Amino acid sequence: MDSKRRIGYVFASIGIIIGALMASFSVVCILIPNDAIDYGTAGIAILVSKLTGWNLSLCVAGVFLPFLILAFVILGKMFGLAAVLGSAVYTLGLELFKWIPFELNTEHFLAVVFGGAILGAGLAMILRCGGCIDGSEIFANIVVRKLSDKTGQSFSMTYILIGFNACVYLAVFLLINRNAALMSLLVYVVATSVINHFTDRFEAIKQVTIITKDAKKMAQAIRDELNKTCTLMDSYGLISGENTTLICYVNYFELPKMKEIIAQNGGAFTTISTVDEIVK
């Protein structure tokens, strides 16, 4: 690994750590004291902790563990390591911040909005650094990948994530109370709005357009390492002359690996854009 990539991994790790600490601070010091919970698998862990009285950090670790194993096995070592780092810091942060006195003297509604914004900012930083601290995103990513491998089409994670979190909030409504469910839903709306602002809708499909002179090698690497196919077109640059343009569709969690493949092959000009829908 060259020094440039090593420095990139160091900065990405720092970003994941900061983001995970922001998320855990928001959950422990703002959301839970104001009758709201996180969403996704973290929300499940908080719900279990509330109903049983078990230690919150242990509940989070127990719920996260199966998804982290799946991340390693199915989504690859690099993504798995980033997910483990984010989840470990998030879990430790939950234990740390409960010993720090913090009180937000304001209305529940304003506190939840503020907490949701901090949570969203922390999660957005983690996602931009190639990490993940929520098992629902890993689950949705795996389902989308399996569907794509089976059908050859690209799918968005949006509906899977919405369905997963709808089940979480329905459980909160039935097992805790209506106010907790509504406050938690507000957290989800605010947090996802902040995440989408900084990550350009991470749950949507991404179109990667690559202009290169060594298209066959690049396309083969994408096929071997991401199990993705590409569309190749002849193109011509005013300065660079004859090139080949590759177009490939991936999800947000596959982007770090795609960028790594592009960097390894070198000599490419790349653009990434968000795609709302693909019709075949």
DSSP string, 116-171: HHHHHHHHHHHHHTT----HHHHHHHHHHHHHHHHHS----SHHHHHHHHHHHHHH
The answer to whether 143 and 154 are in contact (CB under 8 A) is no
The answer to whether 262 and 270 are in contact (CB under 8 A) is yes
Amino acid at 59: C
The mean pLDDT value for 143-166 works out to: 80
Q: What is the DSSP secondary structure assignment for residue 195, as one 8-state letter?
A: H
The answer to whether 64 and 50 are in contact (CB under 8 A) is no
Q: Is the pLDDT of residue 149 over 60?
A: yes
Considering only 16-25, 69-78, 150-159, 182-191, which range has the smallest mean pLDDT?
Answer: 150-159
Single pTM value for the model: 0.83
Q: Is the pLDDT of residue 208 over 80?
A: yes
Nearest to 20 by CA among 176, 139, 135, 124: 124
71-to-80, 125, 128, 133 alpha-carbon distances in Å = 5, 19, 17, 11
Q: How far apart are CA 195 and CA 190, in angstroms?
A: 9
What does the mean pLDDT of the chain come to? 85
The answer to whether 147 and 159 are in contact (CB under 8 A) is no
Q: Is the pLDDT of residue 19 over 90?
A: yes
Q: Is the pLDDT of residue 223 over 60?
A: yes
| Better-scored residue on pLDDT, 238 or 161 | 161
Which domains does the chain possess? 3-199 (no CATH), 205-275 (3.30.70.120)
DSSP string for 248-264: EEE-GGGHHHHHHHHHH
pLDDT at 2: 64
pLDDT at 119: 92
The mean pLDDT value for 265-273 works out to: 82
Q: How far apart are CA 230 and CA 142, in angstroms?
A: 21
Q: How far apart are CA 30 and CA 53, in angstroms?
A: 19
DSSP helix/strand/coil, 211: strand
The answer to whether 231 and 225 are in contact (CB under 8 A) is no
Binned at pLDDT 50, 70 and 90, residue 203 comes out as confident
The mean pLDDT value for 140-149 works out to: 80
Q: Over the stretch 30-57, which tens digit does the pLDDT of each residue have? A: 998 888 888 888 889 999 998 898 999 9
